Chain A
Amino acid sequence: MITVNGKIDTAAHAGQSISELLKRLEMQTARVVVERNGLIIKREVYDSLLLEDQDDIEVISFVGGG
């Protein structure tokens, strides 16, 4: 069971990479900050870091304008 932005994401499962998760959520990598269990993940590891069961993922997504 993996939680994404406060909700259980049934399509997310252990072994998927952060990049795969973002792609499925249709989020642009450059415009987001991803936290895993409260810690920010470095972008360099989005491809290599794999989700684990019980992970709590938070994706903070930014829109343009200022």
Chain B
Amino acid sequence: MAEISIDGVSVDDIYKQMKTRNVAGTQEKLAQAHVTIAGSGGLGSNIAIALARSGVGHLTLIDFDVVDYSNLNRQQFKLSQVGVPKVIALKQNILEFNPFIDITTVQTRVTYENVEELFETSDVICEAFDDPTSKAVILQSAREFFSEKPIVMGNGLAGIHSANNIVTRKMRENVYICGDQTTAGVEGLMAPRVIICAGHQANMILQLLVNKIEI
């Protein structure tokens, strides 16, 4: 088969060059890994992009919602994507910088009833909801169905408080919660602290996937 190239650069070469600045020795493991992200909003869109850039090979994106103007202050979408399902828009955006990734999209609400089916094949469960009730539901049900599967959550990332209050904590075996644990979305959500918390979550997920946990 003829070699496929883009602007004279072979696809193989593009793939290799895209990985050159990632940490050596991680790419094989990450390319095999599967992370399911519940929520494609402020946390989820930033986490998905960070994981895709890091070389995670398989992502499942779950969100019931469509892109709205009020999302654009902190979520990784464009004006042209308003009205588009978030999971579809996020997949499009990721494929623009990394086509070497397998992305499954699921446009649904996560409930106690579908947790088992939605997360069964995932190596790590990533919680990235806005709603605190949904956060509690996913922790409760994930621990019931998959006590051995790591879950990485976000809790408390609102306002413009110190960036240093956002931390990663290991709550229990296989339960990691990132955030300041106190600031609620009603005070307003600003891109920097949302992105910091998303960074904590994505970093914890990478550590789990390459089995190099230092918290």
Contact = CB atoms under 8 A, between A and B. Distances in A.
B6 interface: no
A31 B136 contact: yes
A16 B143 CA distance: 25
B156 A63 contact: yes
Contacts, number: 71
Which of A32, A40, A43, A64 has the most CB atoms of chain B within a 10 A radius of its CB?
Answer: A64
- For chain B, the bracket of interface size reads 20 to 34
Main secondary structure of the interface of B (DSSP, over half): mixed
Contacts of A25: none
B176 to A, nearest CB: 12
Interface residues of A, number: 16
Contacts of A38: 172
A65 B157 contact: yes
Interface string B170-208: 011000010001111110010000100000000000000
B140 A62 contact: no
Nearest to B133: A30
Contacts of B83: none
Contact of A65 (B133, B144, B184): B184
A66 B185 contact: yes
B209 interface: no
A60 interface: yes
Given A63-B181, A64-B130, A66-B129, A43 B39 contact: no
Interface string B115-144: 000000000000011111101100110011
Contact of B156 (A31, A35, A40, A65): A65
Interface of A: 30-33, 35, 38, 40, 42-43, 60-66
Given A42-B140, A63-B185, A64-B186, 13 more contacts: A31-B132, A60-B139, A60-B171, A60-B177, A62-B133, A63-B183, A64-B132, A65-B42, A65-B194, A66-B130, A66-B157, A66-B185, A66-B194
Q: Can you list the 9 inter-chain pairs with the closest CB atoms, starting with the nearest? A: A65-B185, A62-B132, A64-B185, A66-B130, A63-B184, A62-B135, A66-B43, A31-B132, A65-B158
